[in-house]
Chains A and B, each alone.
Chain A
């Protein structure tokens, strides 16, 4: 079955620390990859997405992610986190080359950034 795994359920960092959140997906042919962020009490917002081309994708708020096809991974990174990055982060994968795009989500990673 198609699945998405996020390695860390909870991450605690100090401000200015570097962040890397892991995401692996099961093989399923063509994939489109997403990272969403959910700030406390809010809905999901798209951080970045990968469809094709340069495997290093830059998103909003200084986030980036790298698609490594051989490892089925799409890890999220940020060089220096801020207190305002405290949120839950979801990796999501769309399996398929066209038509209906069902998103399969990972379980999420809660990030807490301390001043």
Chain B
């Protein structure tokens, strides 16, 4: 089944403790993105990647890192999480270009206390 898989689904952590949210897609998509969803703000892009080893900042990159060492994986790293990073996170992937929308993962609900 074609899908984007995120782990974990739920995570509670403490301020300053490094964490990684994994994302993997099995559709051979070139483009991958991370979004955070906050009430009243919709989805805002954190980082995106156009291919292996090619990443760039989205609209809200502060406090996050990403890497794209393999085409299928695009982990999101929070080196020192803070409470304002409490949010619902979605990974998404696409073939890119005009004709494709994104396929989204099931989301990771992160709480930083």
Which A residues fall within an 8 A CB radius of B? Answer: 4, 6, 9, 32, 34, 36, 42-46, 49, 51, 90, 92, 94, 96-108
Q: A44-B90, A44-B104 are in contact. Are A101 and B42 (CB under 8 A)?
A: no
Which of B41, B43, B97 sits near A101, CB closer than 8 Å? B97
Chain B residues engaging chain A, CB cutoff 8 angstroms? 31, 33, 35, 40-45, 48, 50, 58, 90, 92, 94, 96-102, 104-107
A101 touching B100 by the CB < 8 A rule? yes
A11 CB, nearest partner CB in chain B, Å: 15
CB distance from A4 to the nearest CB of B (A): 8
Whole-angstrom distance between the Cβ of A98 and the nearest chain B Cβ: 6
CB–CB A100/B50 < 8 A: yes
Shortest C-beta distance, B111 to chain A (Å), equals 16
Minimum C-beta distance from B78 to chain A (A) = 20
